[in-house]
Amino acid sequence: MNEARRFLESLFDTAVEAAHPHSCLVPALPAPPAAPGRVIILAAGKAAGSMMEVAEAYYLEHGRLPPERLAGIAVARHGYGRPTRILPVVEAGHPVPDAAGLAAAEKTLALADTATQDDLVLALLSGGASANWIAPAAGITLAEKQAVTRALLRSGAGIGEINTLRKHLSRIKGGRLAARAAPARIVTLAISDVPGDDPAVIGSGPTVPDPSTLADARAICARYALDLPASVTRTLDDPASESPKPGDPAFANTTFQLIARPADAFRAAEAAIRTAGYECVMLGDQVEGEARTVAAEHAALARQMQAEGRRCVILSGGELTVTIKGDGQGGPNQEYALALALALKGTSGITALAADTDGTDGGAGSADDPAGAVVDGTTVARAAKRGLDAAAFLAENNSTPFFSAIGDLLMPGPTFTNVNDFRAILVDTP
């Protein structure tokens, strides 16, 4: 599997590079306002550190902005900080928010409150911002918000559903940051990690109108039978908790631009695939569903392609979900990979990689969590020789220890960007 694995890992690296802030941010940065206006940079998400690093250098060097006219704060996942000159980068919890994120979000809101009509507020968003910018609505504690987050993550809810609920339990999400920063000019530059690249879903849409409603949030709670704290129920029942909608004056002086999308990452990977002499079969960058179900479908497609004699790479992105029933360790990409390995058991000529482009897949929030795994038709047999039952590990949602034991985890470390999942299945002759 070594040669095939190296090729698939190179495709992953190519996709990540295409979406890194040093490749895509600078061309989109707006000119600073006239004196005495400031540039106030508010960044959040897994790419926040690298976005702040690039933006700060641009304004200090290229824009020659005096340091006293540059303000801001970035909040990134633990382990995703980057070196900056004058603006702080805070590392905070993800996917479950923590006290560091709470304190940083309060500082972010305080900076937004100081913005005047002379200032430019530059919001730099990337996947993970929803957890990093944690500002619970009045009456909800951090512990209660953490409990809701854990319940959502275990429920199998999609990212759009999760963020709908988050937006109605927050003082910063769902357009509320824009309301705090008005009347300043607000420019949002975002790296998308969500299917469909919806600005209202990326980072839970802190600077854009929120089309979702309190009724939507309550329906999601009912759909997944979430056991909610009384304070959360009261908030969702209070009409005053509704988020700003299209047409609200808070958005009169705002613009939003995507600077990197999953499609951009896959376009770069597709070019590398064709250069290597393979056909590229793109299933789309918005694939959703239960990880093990999608894996079974993809395994069947790979077998079909091989039977037709096609030498190809099947690509797919999006965000898969896992309905957790066991007590194991893992993430959606590793669960997909384990289910795929079981479906491909005994098949030669097919190798696959599934990983999150941010460098971590599930896990406990550590920067050294695995990004995903690589599998082929020998994976299950190699594990069996070590006394490991792949099906039993899958039943317990315990993919990380399984792949760790056979050396097939993908562990690139933090990539400082995030355009969601990257899955590639190399189909060659048996």
Which pair of tokens denotes residue 408? 């097939």
Q: How many Cα atoms occupy the beta-carbon half-sphere of 210 within 13 Å? A: 35
Superfamily holding 21-260 = Glycerate kinase, MOFRL-like N-terminal domain (3.40.50.10180)
Q: What is the tens place of the pLDDT at every residue in 144-165?
A: 999 998 898 888 888 889 989 9
Q: What is the pLDDT of residues 97-137, one digit of tens each?
A: 999 999 999 999 999 999 999 999 999 999 999 999 999 99
Specify the pTM. 0.89
Structure token digits, residue 1 = 């599997």
The CATH class of the 2-13+263-427 domain is: alpha beta
Please answer whether residues 106 and 25 qualify as being in contact, where contact means their C-beta atoms are separated by less than 8 angstroms.
Answer: no
346 to 293, 349, 354, 379, 405: CA distances (angstroms): 20, 10, 19, 9, 20
330 contacts 397 by C-beta, under 8 angstroms? yes
pLDDT for position 1: 61
Q: Per-domain residue ranges for the chain?
A: 2-13+263-427, 21-260
Q: Are 302 and 56 in contact, with CB atoms under 8 Å apart?
A: no
- With residues binned 3-state (H G I as helix, E B as strand, rest as coil), the percentages for the chain, rounded to 5, are 40, 20, 40
**Residue 307 confidence (pLDDT):** 97
Q: How many C-beta atoms lie closer than 10 Å to residue 71's C-beta?
A: 18
Which residue in 155, 183, 150 sits closest to 321, CA to CA? 155
Residue % of the chain over a pLDDT of 90: 90
Residues 105/73, Cβ–Cβ less than 8 Å: no
DSSP state of 302: H
Predicted local confidence at residue 126, as pLDDT:
96
Please, where are the H alpha helices in 310-416?
Answer: 332-343, 379-385, 390-395, 399-406
Q: Which residues of the chain have pLDDT under 50?
A: none
Integer Cα distance of 19 and 264 in angstroms: 7
Dist CA 38 CA 55 (whole Å): 14
The pLDDT value recorded for residue 368 is 86
Query: Is residue 183 reached through a cis peptide bond, with omega within 30 degrees of 0 on the bond before it?
Result: yes
